[in-house]
């Protein structure tokens, strides 16, 4: 899935063929799946620049006393490598 209509400025910066790296994380939350994803992405953004997309790889959770204590969402997160990376 990609952005919609390409625009001129964007294209000119992509003359060279970029390489992306994909890192795998697990975001957690006591609230639900969406929040676990957001927590994981926010944490990854602290140390990685140019985050570009994510993909959910698995959804799990911990149960304590018959109730969900933690949602744990596995994520692959892609980011563009800059020249200096």
State the number of binding residues for its own copies (CB under 8 A): 66
Q: b or e along 28-67 (b: 16 or more beta carbons within 10 Å of the residue's beta carbon)?
A: bbeeeeeebbebbbeebeeebeeeeebeeeeeebeeeeee
Residue 42 within binding range of its own copies, rule CB under 8 A: yes
Residue 60 within binding range of its own copies, rule CB under 8 A: yes
Q: How far is the CB of 56 from its own copies (least distance, A)?
A: 4
Residue 47 within binding range of its own copies, rule CB under 8 A: yes
For residues 36 and 25, is the Cβ–Cβ distance under 8 A? no
Interacting residues with its own copies (CB under 8 A): 1-7, 9-10, 13-14, 17-30, 32-34, 36-45, 47, 51-56, 58-64, 66-72, 74, 76-78, 80-81, 85
């Amino acid at each position: 899935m990609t952005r919609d209509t390409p625009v001129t400025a964007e294209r000119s910066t992509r003359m060279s063929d970029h390489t992306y790296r994909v890192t795998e994380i697990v975001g957690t939350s006591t609230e639900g799946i969406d929040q676990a994803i957001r927590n994981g992405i926010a944490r990854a953004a602290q140390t990685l620049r140019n985050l570009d997309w994510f993909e959910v790889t698995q959804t799990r959770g911990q149960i304590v006393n018959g109730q969900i204590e933690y949602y744990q969402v596995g994520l692959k997160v892609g980011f563009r490598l800059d020249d200096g990376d």
